[in-house]
Amino acid sequence: MPPARLGASASRPGQAPPARTQGTVLPGQDLPRPSGDRPRLRPGAVRRSDVLALVGAAMASMGVTWLLFNELAPFSGLLGEIVVLWTTFVVLYALLVSFDESVQAVRDRLAMVVISSLAVLLLVALAFVVTYVLFRGRDALTHLNTFTQDLSVAGPLSPITQGGILHGVVGTIEQITMSLLITVPLGLTCAVYLNEFRGPFPRFVRTIVEAMTALPSIVAGLFIYTSYILTFGLGKSGSAAALALSIMMLPIIIRAADVVIRLVPGNLREASLAMGAGRWRTVWHVVLPTSRSGLATAVILGTARGIGETSPVLLTAGYGQATNFDPTGGPQVSLPLLAFELFKFPNETMRARSFGAAATLLVLVLALFITARVVGGRGPGNLSPRQQRQAARSSRQDAERFVRAHAERQGLVPPSGLALLLGPPVAPPAAPPVARGPAPAPPTQIHPVVDAGTTGSGTAAPEDQSPADAAGDGEESS
Amino acid sequence: MSATDVTGTFTPPTPTQPDRRPRVRPGDAPDTADRVFRGFAVGSGIAVLAIMGMVGLFLGFRALLALRSAGWSFLTTEAWEPDSHNFGIKAVLFGTVLIGLTAILIAVPFALATALFISEYAPRRLQRTFVLLVDLMAAVPSVVYGLWGAFFLQGNLTGLSRWLSTYLSWIPPLSVTIADPNDPLATATTYTSSTFIAGVVVAMMITPIASSVMREAFIQAPPGEREGAFALGATKWGMIRAVVLPYGRGGIIGGTMLGLGRALGETIAVYMIISPVFTMKWHILQNGGISVSALIALRWGSASDFGLSALFAAGLALFVMTLAVNFVASSIVARSRSGAGAEG
């Protein structure tokens, strides 16, 4: 937090007090100003000299670059121009600021300019990569046959209006579905195991998983190629590619899910165990729901990584030009592999299809990613208002259920202390659920039977004392 | 109720009413659901361990044939002709490290600047948008970057390469041996398909990843210390140098190492750009270079049984290298202050 805004909302001594005196009287208004005519310091404000220095440096650097590239030196090339422009801008800006600021301030401005410009440059460059690929793919993407046909109907020289990338789309969807069927149950269970059980074995598994995130993806492909395809002789197929992708995605999903589950506050688990829930119930009802959005993010990020991988698929899927729906036999190409294989062709139509496949893949990955952000935008235990209301409602129902069950088991009305803890029943006070039937007196009666009406009227407990909200407080503090 | 009698000894309080129920010790006798759950969990751990162990063992086992045949010369030979038993990892590993270092040298300033920009300088309202953009870029498939590098960068980066080799050739890696940089008629293909261009493409891929790790560390810098620095009269840059950068040092190193690990293992983008050369040379601007994964992608299809074994040995060497990088990174991150207090 910059301390800049401190003075902004306070009363300004520089302004004359208003003529109307019947309003609020601010203290200190009538005191003499302490320091003569010195203007008030406002550290965060933008001053005219700042703007002038920026604009001046920008214009001067553009002029110098133009002079260098067009008149003086034998320089050429857009990239070189950008580099020279940036360097002269930074130097000139530092020079201009140094005319009326201290060394500290010059360093501060220089850091700001360098950091901001590098960041903007990177974002522009990355955006350029994406738009470049989408732009080059426009030929293929604007023809509907790209998505409805495969390459078996198109020869090497047929125009862009024939043939398409349907076989790649089919292959991508089948392969990623199969690898998700393997990795999601296995990966999430393993992540839960790593967090919920202590001992040397989980630690060992975690170390191995961390080591396996270093496995180069091509080696995963090579492994499946030599074992599944060469040793077992099963041939290149979609399922071999799915296995290779699974080996690559499994460590990613486990690590991402592990991090998310580790963030579940320990006091939530302890609360659940203290209420008498077993390990399994704690995991199912507390740990997994709390980290649900993070787990979804982990899975979707793993999917995004797996769907865009080329090298494991290159060694295992094989390359065919016809649509192959059968993942167990025959070559089944996927979108990244298709983009890679078509890239090698020398003619423009094939390259346009290659860019089309890459662009389709890109759009697919970006859609997945945005889904991940929408689903998992919040941290564990960080609920939206609607989810908060939902949690409060269900915890009130739980409280009511507990009260009823307790009363039925014990045959007595809960003492007011418990009622305070559990919060008020949702039912109107006139007919609390515990009022049903005469309570048979238990053999060992510790607390005196409290009249049902007392419980009903004893709803003094404020709503935010319900257990769920107490747990929610714990989440926030952690 | 605890009483201290006159002799001064302490008598512990005795429970007046001994509990009739047996003492409950959670975890002593789990019910059926818990036992089944435990079985499943342990089973998944064993399964994951088995898969991962199988990959590792298989890798080592298949590599053994080539390694035993080549012996120590595997580490010192520059050629890659496994069928005439003349092969070694030296040039390939050197090329891999060279591409990785080029990429990381380009990526780190950008990643650091982007992370600082997002955590310190960007307007609050736009912060989430920038985070989303950078993370989005981290998810872009490598084949997309490869296509961009092959079709756009190959043509447009040669000017910069030529400029660097003309004016900065006194730096050894930036010199060029196969053409005279001062000769204006020298063919532009001298500068295409180089380690430098591959490094730039890989740098584009790893910058978002490194940047996210760094940003996460910077954002967690304690606000009290930030405000303390401001209160002592620091400028924003002074605050960043005194608080944010020392606090995020683990994140910076960890992000860099993570990026390096990705860069070393990158296959397709490198394969699409580089033209393979099996000699050790540090002239990054001129045509030719190699990396382990590009080598595997190039040679797996035409490899004999022994050739495959040699490729496995290369893959094993790469795996060991990335493993070392990752472990160093994670131990540095674990020992630093970054992220302290994130739990509990």
Q: Which residues of A touch B205 (CB under 8 A)?
A: none
Q: pLDDT at residue B315 above 80? A: yes
The H or E element spanning position A80 is helix A78-100
Q: Which residues of B touch A368 (CB under 8 A)?
A: 139
Interchain pair B44, A189: CB under 8 A: yes
Q: pLDDT at residue B58 above 80? A: yes
Give the Cα-Cα-Cα angle A9, A13, A15 (nearest 5 degrees).
90
| Complex ipTM value | 0.81
Confidence of residue B27 (pLDDT cuts 50, 70, 90): low
Q: Which residues of B touch A339 (CB under 8 A)?
A: 143-144, 147
Interchain pair A126, B48: CB under 8 A: no
Q: Where are the alpha helices (DSSP H) in B236-339?
A: 236-239, 245-247, 249-265, 268-273, 292-299, 305-335
Percent of chain A with pLDDT over 90: 15
Q: Divide the 478 residues of chain A into consecutive groups of 10 and give the mean pLDDT of each group.
A: 42 47 62 62 73 90 87 72 87 89 88 91 89 88 82 78 86 92 93 89 88 85 87 86 92 88 86 88 89 82 86 87 82 90 86 90 87 66 74 90 86 54 47 43 42 39 40 38
User: What confidence score (pLDDT) does residue B170 get?
Assistant: 77
Q: Which residues of B touch A205 (CB under 8 A)?
A: 45, 48-49
User: What confidence score (pLDDT) does residue A13 get?
Assistant: 46
Q: Which residues of B touch A283 (CB under 8 A)?
A: 37
- Mark which residues 68-107 of A lie under 8 Å from B by CB: 75-80, 83, 104-105, 107
To the nearest whole Å, the CA of B253 is away from the closest chain A CA by: 17
Question: Residue A364: closest CA among chain B residues belongs to which residue?
Answer: B140
Sign of CA dihedral B178, B181, B184, B190: positive
Give the model confidence (pLDDT) of B28-46 as tens digits.
556 788 888 888 999 999 9
Q: Which is higher by pLDDT, B172 or B64?
A: B64
Evaluate whether B266 touches B289 at the Cβ level (below 8 Å).
no
Confidence of residue B103 (pLDDT cuts 50, 70, 90): very high
> What residue has token string 């301390």?
A3
Lookup: tokens for A263: 């963030």
Interface test with A, best of B24, B25, B34, B44 (most A CBs within 10 A): B44
Where b means 16+ CB within 10 Å and e means fewer, A14-36 reads eeeeeeeeeeeeeeeeeeeeeee
Give the model confidence (pLDDT) of B256-284 as tens digits.
988 898 899 888 889 988 888 888 877 88
Q: pLDDT at residue B253 above 70? A: yes
Give the model confidence (pLDDT) of B148-185 as tens digits.
999 888 887 877 787 777 777 777 777 777 766 666 66
Distance CA A324, CA A150 (A): 10
User: What confidence score (pLDDT) does residue B4 get?
Assistant: 45
Q: Which residues of B touch A336 (CB under 8 A)?
A: 141, 143, 268
To the nearest whole Å, the CA of B109 is away from the closest chain A CA by: 8
CB neighbour class for B296 (10 Å; exposed up to 12, middle 13-18, buried from 19)? buried
To the nearest whole Å, the CA of A230 is away from the closest chain B CA by: 10
User: What confidence score (pLDDT) does residue A215 get?
Assistant: 85
Q: Does A204 contact chain B (CB < 8 Å)?
A: yes
Option in A108, A133, A283 nearest B237 (CB): A108
Q: Does A326 contact chain B (CB < 8 Å)?
A: no
Q: Does A254 contact chain B (CB < 8 Å)?
A: yes
Q: Indicate the residue type of A217.
A: S
Helix/strand number for chain B, H first, E second: 15, 4
Q: Does A430 contact chain B (CB < 8 Å)?
A: no
Interchain pair A216, B344: CB under 8 A: no
User: What confidence score (pLDDT) does residue A453 get?
Assistant: 39
Lookup: tokens for A251: 């460590």
Q: Which of B205, B299, B214 is nearest to B261 (CA)?
A: B205
Q: pLDDT at residue B340 above 70? A: no
Side-chain half-sphere exposure of A85, counting CA atoms within 13 A: 16
Torsion, Cα A355 A356 A359 A363, to 10 degrees, reads: -170
Q: Indicate the residue type of A103.
A: V
User: What confidence score (pLDDT) does residue B114 get?
Assistant: 94
Q: Indicate the residue type of A120.
A: V
Interchain pair B267, A308: CB under 8 A: no
Q: Which domains does chain B have, with CATH numbers?
A: 55-342 (1.10.3720.10)
Interchain pair A365, B315: CB under 8 A: no
